[in-house]
A = this chain, B = another copy of it.
Amino acid sequence: MFVVMKPNHSATDLKQVLKTLAASGFEARISATDDKIILNIEAADAKPLSGMFVQKISALSGVQDVVLAERKAVEKEIQVGNVIFGAGRFAVIAGPCAVESEAQTLRIAHAVKAAGAHVLRGGAFKPRTSPHSFQGLGPDGLKILDLARQETGLPIVTEVLDVRSVEVVSQFADLIQIGARNMQNYTLLKEVARQKKPVLLKRGMSATIDEWLMAADYILSGGNENVILCERGIRHFDKHTRFLLDLSAVPVVRSMSALPVIVDPSHASGRRDLIAPLARASLAAGASAVMIDVHDRPHEALCDGPQALLPAEFALLMESLRAMAPALNCVMDAENELRPFSALQGFASTPVGYQA
């Protein structure tokens, strides 16, 4: 948790904040940017802070902001259907970018299940840059996803675009996705905070890491503690990829927050040939999962065909990820017992300023 003080707070304000924190057993490290004093509060344990305590600190004189995503060495465990994200496990989400038809969705769902995927992805409501592009099947798409779940046993992640659809999407989905374009759609964040399903929060395409964590705080402070963060590439100046995958964000977020962080190399790169090396790099960088577009007829895909792996390519990728996981002390199969997170990955928790 970070407490940001107002530019014009008094020394008395600051002392009162520190006393209130100490009374609840918190220690604070202090730092300053050009224009702000920031208190970095070390939570004594891994549990999220109570909303009431946050309200109490927020209400103190001289306090401008309270930022919730707390720094922790151990990732939070979040359950999506029967799959666990975080806590030293590695999961794979796969499926078509968009639900196009029942036949297409079922074919791909069975293929990714056979290759060992843990969760099925598929968009029923699609945000499209142009109003004249395919906008998704809507509620009919949700029913197709439900059928795919029944047939394969895979939990479902799908995106919600509209506050008025949150209820219906949360009935069908096991994990509700907030897309990059809606990361700062605060109305929508407040609405998903009010329902019970876990939320996958994609990073905005030019969001700073702090803004991303503060967007997560809209959901956490709204009462929903199960947020998974997803890096999906940011704006850049080069033309060889659609966006620039920011893999440093994985260990940076892990040094600041207990929330699991996953990576979507398909939407980041927009290129089939880059997905496998970037998925492997995501695992090596400490991500809790990857999310991969798979399509068996990419040339016919209504959305983002050029970035989908073929089922056979996906199966090969899964094999290589399983081969790598033990060297990273990471549990990849859902049936494995829960083990503490990797000693090797533990480098990420070495304090930045540490000196021998």
Measured between beta carbons, the chain B residues less than 8 angstroms from A236 are: 234, 236-237, 246
Contact with B along A90-133 (1 / 0, CB 8 A): 00000000000000000000000000000000000001111111
Mark the stretch among A15-23, A63-71, A137-145 that contacts chain B.
Answer: A63-71
Nearest CB on B from A161, distance (A) = 5
Cβ 8 A contact of A221, one of B132, B187, B273, B284? B132
A337 within 8 A of B: no
Cβ 8 A contact of A276, one of B211, B217, B344? B344
Contact with B along A331-356 (1 / 0, CB 8 A): 00000000000001101111111111
A161, B190: Cα distance in complex, Å: 12
A2, B188: Cα distance in complex, Å: 32
Cβ 8 A contact of A247, one of B162, B247, B252, B273? B247
Mark the stretch among A80-88, A148-156, A169-177, A295-303 that contacts chain B.
Answer: A295-303
Whether A344 contacts B328 in the complex (CB less than 8 A), given A161-B187, A206-B235, A208-B237, comes out as no
Within A1-33, the residues touching B (CB, 8 Å) are 4, 7-8, 31-33
Measured between beta carbons, the chain B residues less than 8 angstroms from A275 are: 347
Measured between beta carbons, the chain B residues less than 8 angstroms from A255 are: 273
A196, B37: Cα distance in complex, Å: 45
Whether A352 contacts B306 in the complex (CB less than 8 A), given A34-B239, A241-B252, A285-B281, comes out as yes
Measured between beta carbons, the chain B residues less than 8 angstroms from A355 are: 298-299
Within A243-263, the residues touching B (CB, 8 Å) are 244-248, 250-252, 255
A182 within 8 A of B: yes
B348 pairs with A128, CB closer than 8 A: no
A195 within 8 A of B: no
> Taking the full assembly, how many copies of this chain does it contain?
4
Measured between beta carbons, the chain B residues less than 8 angstroms from A284 are: 277, 280-281, 283-284, 324
Contact with B along A274-315 (1 / 0, CB 8 A): 111110111111100000000011110000001000100100
B310 pairs with A348, CB closer than 8 A: no
Nearest CB on B from A12, distance (A) = 18
Measured between beta carbons, the chain B residues less than 8 angstroms from A320 are: 327-328, 344
Measured between beta carbons, the chain B residues less than 8 angstroms from A351 are: 273
A58-B132, A298-B356 known; 9 new pairs, CB 8 Å cut-off, are A32-B32, A64-B133, A205-B206, A244-B246, A251-B274, A251-B277, A273-B349, A277-B348, A284-B284
Query: What is the interface of chain A, defined by CB distance below 8 A to chain B?
Result: 4, 7-8, 31-35, 54, 58, 64-67, 127-133, 161-164, 181-182, 184-188, 204-206, 208-211, 214-215, 217-218, 221-222, 234-241, 244-248, 250-252, 255, 268-269, 271-278, 280-286, 296-299, 306, 310, 313, 316-317, 320, 323-324, 327-328, 344-345, 347-356
> Please, could you name 18 A-B residue pairs with CB atoms under 8 Å apart, sorted by A?
A4-B130, A33-B33, A58-B132, A129-B215, A130-B217, A132-B221, A162-B163, A206-B234, A209-B238, A235-B237, A236-B236, A244-B246, A272-B350, A276-B344, A277-B285, A277-B286, A284-B284, A298-B355
